[in-house]
Amino acid sequence: MHEYGLVQEVVLLLLKKLQEGVCPEAGNMEVVLRVGGFAVHSVAATRQAYEVLTKDTPLESSRLTLTISPVTLNCPGCGYQETLGDDQVDPHDPLPLAECPRCGQVGPVHGGRGVESLELVCD
């Protein structure tokens, strides 16, 4: 599964932070994660991966606030810009293209592929 690799990296990073003494009271932790639109297929799958991968770790009880950055089409022909849903673009495509709904020209799609920001908040 695509999400697992990404979430695994995030979880390892967070566990390292905890080992370094961030959030000594591991009671109420919030993990704020923002990932690029090409990095994951769905919020649900990412959450599920997080749940599975944090099980039996100090992060098990943490809350995950997940934001997925939109993927956008910038038409080279008419300048039209559109935010695409995750079902409109194949994240595995190394050079994703989409057809402009206004003029029909095919243009490149822009979006992030990795973790854009990660924050560990503790109360």
Give the footprint of Zn ion on this chain (CB under 5 A). Answer: 75, 77-78, 80, 100, 102-103, 105
Using the minimum distance from each CB to Zn ion, give the nearer residue, 52 or 103. 103
Integer Cα distance of 92 and 10 in angstroms = 20
User: Residue 74, exposed/middle/buried by CB under 10 A (0-12, 13-18, 19+)?
Assistant: middle
Integer Cα distance of 55 and 57 in angstroms = 5
Please, what is the minimum distance in Å from the beta carbon of residue 83 to Zn ion? 15
Give the three-state DSSP class for 53: helix
Using the minimum distance from each CB to Zn ion, give the nearer residue, 7 or 100. 100
Using the minimum distance from each CB to Zn ion, give the nearer residue, 1 or 78. 78
Please, what is the minimum distance in Å from the beta carbon of residue 96 to Zn ion? 16
